[in-house]
Structure 1
Amino acid sequence: MPLIKRSLTLHGHRTSLALEPDFWEVVDAYTEQKRQSLAGLIAEIDDNRDPDDPLSSAVRVWALQQAKARMA
């Protein structure tokens, strides 16, 4: 499955994040439901991740947790 790259500003710096479409689907649904910006959500995930973990991995884990919570 190809990665989809999106650009955003994170803590005042331009960056990009590449994820598989299934993960973007969870992120997009969440931001739409909560009426939150993509940059705002990614900043929250970034602020709460272990600094040794890549941001893309942290977003994937966050998306998995969201999907699991919906199943509960």
Structure 2
Amino acid sequence: MAKLIKGWADLAKVEPSDKYYLDITPENGNGWVMNKETGKSERYLSTHTFYGLNHEISTKKLQEYGFDVVIENWDAD
């Protein structure tokens, strides 16, 4: 079952996938999906990651990178 990610601190604790890891700076509210093999960034996670439809897009993209997570929607009632 996918882990619910409620904020940047949770995202910073996510274990690496087979090919990728997360480089998250909780105090800045952003981060990167990093390629383990090349050390290069693959995707930027902006301050908007948890808002509006971005939480759905972020969840989908993170799952495509092998992370078993669901991003919480901070705009939900």
TM-score by length of 2: 0.31
With a CA cutoff of 8 Å and minimum separation of 6, indicate the structure with the bigger relative contact order. Answer: 2
Task: Select the structure that is richer in helix.
Answer: 1
TM-score by length of 1: 0.32
